Structure 1
């Protein structure tokens, strides 16, 4: 299992469009990927799950991946979240 805390750089947070792009990226990995915010956890491959966390800009979240490509998954998700500004 690999975990990493990330600060959301998109000033409007993870609204529908960036959340959909994130889910698309998560879906390209075999590992189970979770997003954790304020003690609540959601499947990073589920749009409803991610949207239910109501992640705003400049908030911290934790990414947790478990599986054969977990390190690559965390790296790709982190890179997207830290660089995506819409």
Structure 2
């Protein structure tokens, strides 16, 4: 299961929104990846996501695979929209 998001936060993906996203996905069993510019990282790793250097207006792909992938993606979508981080494409 995967979704694309356009990053709308004026600072892009920096420490605070990344921490919100990582904390949202940690309780889930599913593996979750964030892909930006053809490079994928484990979305459960703050350092991994930070290393992507995602700028405002960028499109990222979030993919989840596992028994609870669907609720994980719902949690990501909710955090993205309610915290002003990004919007689904």
> What TM-score results when the alignment is normalised by the length of structure 1?
0.90
Alpha-carbon displacement from aligned partner over 1:36-73 (angstroms, at most 9, x marks no partner): 01100010000110001111222110000000110111
For structure 1, the residue ranges without an aligned partner over 5 or more in a row are none
Q: Give secondary structure in 1 for the equivalent of 2:41.
A: strand
- Shift, 1:82, TM fit: 3.0
2:39 corresponds in structure 1 to 40
Is this contact kept in 2: 1:34–1:65, CA < 8 A? yes
Q: Unmatched 5+ residue regions in structure 2?
A: none
Query: Counterparts in 2 of 1:12-23, with a 5 A limit?
Result: 12-23=11-22
Maintained 8 Å contact 1:65/1:74: yes
Residue 7 of structure 1 contacts residue 81 of structure 1 at CA under 8 Å; is this kept in 2? Answer: no
CA-atom RMSD in angstroms: 1.3
Aligned length: 85
TM-score where L is the length of structure 2: 0.87
Q: In structure 1, what is the equivalent of residue 76 of structure 2?
A: 77
Does residue 50 in structure 1 map to residue 49 in structure 2? Answer: yes
